[in-house]
Protein backbone atom coordinates (compact mmCIF):
# COMPACT_ATOMS: atom_id res chain seq x y z
CA UNK A 1 0.00 0.00 0.00
CA UNK A 2 1.39 3.35 -1.00
CA UNK A 3 0.87 6.30 1.30
CA UNK A 4 0.56 9.61 -0.54
CA UNK A 5 3.00 12.17 0.79
CA UNK A 6 2.16 15.78 0.20
CA UNK A 7 4.99 18.28 -0.09
CA UNK A 8 4.93 21.55 1.78
CA UNK A 9 4.61 23.42 -1.55
CA UNK A 10 1.51 21.40 -2.42
CA UNK A 11 0.04 22.12 1.01
CA UNK A 12 0.84 25.83 0.56
CA UNK A 13 -0.76 26.01 -2.88
CA UNK A 14 -3.86 24.16 -1.70
CA UNK A 15 -4.31 26.52 1.27
CA UNK A 16 -3.66 29.61 -0.88
CA UNK A 17 -6.28 28.53 -3.40
CA UNK A 18 -8.92 28.64 -0.67
CA UNK A 19 -8.39 32.22 0.49
CA UNK A 20 -9.15 35.61 -1.05
CA UNK A 21 -6.83 36.86 -3.84
CA UNK A 22 -5.81 39.92 -1.81
CA UNK A 23 -4.68 37.73 1.07
CA UNK A 24 -2.95 35.37 -1.34
CA UNK A 25 -0.61 38.14 -2.49
CA UNK A 26 0.43 38.90 1.09
CA UNK A 27 1.04 35.25 1.95
CA UNK A 28 2.93 34.61 -1.31
CA UNK A 29 5.23 37.57 -0.62
CA UNK A 30 6.06 36.18 2.81
CA UNK A 31 6.78 32.72 1.39
CA UNK A 32 8.90 34.24 -1.39
CA UNK A 33 11.00 36.19 1.10
CA UNK A 34 11.74 33.00 3.04
CA UNK A 35 12.47 31.05 -0.15
CA UNK A 36 14.99 33.68 -1.27
CA UNK A 37 16.80 33.69 2.09
CA UNK A 38 20.18 32.08 1.49
CA UNK A 39 21.77 32.43 4.93
CA UNK A 40 24.32 35.00 3.77
CA UNK A 41 23.57 37.46 6.58
CA UNK A 42 24.09 34.80 9.21
CA UNK A 43 27.24 33.57 7.45
CA UNK A 44 28.65 37.08 7.36
CA UNK A 45 27.83 37.65 11.04
CA UNK A 46 29.48 34.38 12.01
CA UNK A 47 32.52 35.31 9.91
CA UNK A 48 32.81 38.66 11.69
CA UNK A 49 32.59 36.95 15.08
CA UNK A 50 35.09 34.24 14.07
CA UNK A 51 37.49 36.76 12.55
CA UNK A 52 37.29 39.01 15.60
CA UNK A 53 37.92 36.07 17.92
CA UNK A 54 40.91 34.99 15.81
CA UNK A 55 42.31 38.52 15.78
CA UNK A 56 41.89 38.85 19.56
CA UNK A 57 43.63 35.50 19.98
CA UNK A 58 46.60 36.78 17.97
CA UNK A 59 46.70 40.13 19.74
CA UNK A 60 46.71 38.56 23.21
CA UNK A 61 49.88 36.63 22.48
CA UNK A 62 48.45 33.44 21.03
CA UNK A 63 49.45 32.02 17.72
CA UNK A 64 52.43 30.26 16.23
CA UNK A 65 55.94 31.45 15.45
CA UNK A 66 55.50 31.03 11.71
CA UNK A 67 53.26 33.71 10.21
CA UNK A 68 51.93 31.43 7.47
CA UNK A 69 50.48 29.07 10.09
CA UNK A 70 48.63 31.98 11.71
CA UNK A 71 47.25 33.06 8.33
CA UNK A 72 46.19 29.50 7.45
CA UNK A 73 44.56 29.12 10.86
CA UNK A 74 42.73 32.43 10.39
CA UNK A 75 41.47 31.44 6.94
CA UNK A 76 40.28 28.14 8.40
CA UNK A 77 38.44 29.94 11.19
CA UNK A 78 36.75 32.24 8.66
CA UNK A 79 35.70 29.39 6.37
CA UNK A 80 34.35 27.24 9.20
CA UNK A 81 32.51 30.12 10.87
CA UNK A 82 30.97 31.25 7.57
CA UNK A 83 29.84 27.71 6.79
CA UNK A 84 28.27 27.26 10.21
CA UNK A 85 26.54 30.64 9.93
CA UNK A 86 25.24 29.84 6.44
CA UNK A 87 23.84 26.49 7.58
CA UNK A 88 22.19 28.12 10.58
CA UNK A 89 20.68 30.79 8.31
CA UNK A 90 19.28 28.18 5.94
CA UNK A 91 17.85 26.21 8.87
CA UNK A 92 16.25 29.40 10.20
CA UNK A 93 14.64 30.09 6.82
CA UNK A 94 13.38 26.51 6.52
CA UNK A 95 11.92 26.60 10.03
CA UNK A 96 10.32 29.96 9.30
CA UNK A 97 8.76 28.54 6.16
CA UNK A 98 7.29 25.62 8.08
CA UNK A 99 5.89 27.96 10.72
CA UNK A 100 4.44 30.25 8.07
CA UNK A 101 2.80 27.26 6.38
CA UNK A 102 1.22 26.26 9.68
CA UNK A 103 -0.07 29.81 10.20
CA UNK A 104 -1.44 29.84 6.64
CA UNK A 105 -3.27 26.56 7.19
CA UNK A 106 -4.72 27.87 10.46
CA UNK A 107 -5.78 31.09 8.73
CA UNK A 108 -7.30 29.14 5.83
CA UNK A 109 -9.24 26.88 8.24
CA UNK A 110 -10.72 29.93 10.03
CA UNK A 111 -11.59 31.78 6.81
CA UNK A 112 -15.27 31.36 5.82
CA UNK A 113 -15.82 29.91 2.37
Q: Which 3 state secondary structure label does DSSP give 109?
A: helix
Q: Is residue 41 situated within a structural domain?
A: yes
Q: Is residue 2 situated within a structural domain?
A: no
pLDDT of 1:
59
Where does residue 87 rank: exposed (0-12), middle (13-18), buried (19+ CB within 10 A)? Answer: middle
Instruction: Please state the φ and ψ torsions of residue 57, each to the nearest 5 degrees.
Output: -60, -45
Question: Pick the residue with more confidence: 84 or 70?
Answer: 84
1-22 residue pLDDT tens: 566 666 888 888 888 998 999 9
| Structural domain harbouring 63 | 8-110
Residue 87 — pLDDT band, cuts 50, 70, 90? very high
Q: Are 50 and 27 in contact (CB under 8 A)?
A: no
Q: Is residue 95 situated within a structural domain?
A: yes
Q: Is residue 103 situated within a structural domain?
A: yes
Its pTM stands at 0.78
pLDDT of 8:
82
Q: Is residue 101 situated within a structural domain?
A: yes
Q: Could you give the number of structural domains in the chain?
A: 1
Q: Is residue 1 situated within a structural domain?
A: no
Q: Is residue 74 situated within a structural domain?
A: yes
Amino acid sequence: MRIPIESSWQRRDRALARIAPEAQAVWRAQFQALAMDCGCREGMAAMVVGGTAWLLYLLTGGGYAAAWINVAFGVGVLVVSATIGKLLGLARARTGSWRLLQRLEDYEAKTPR
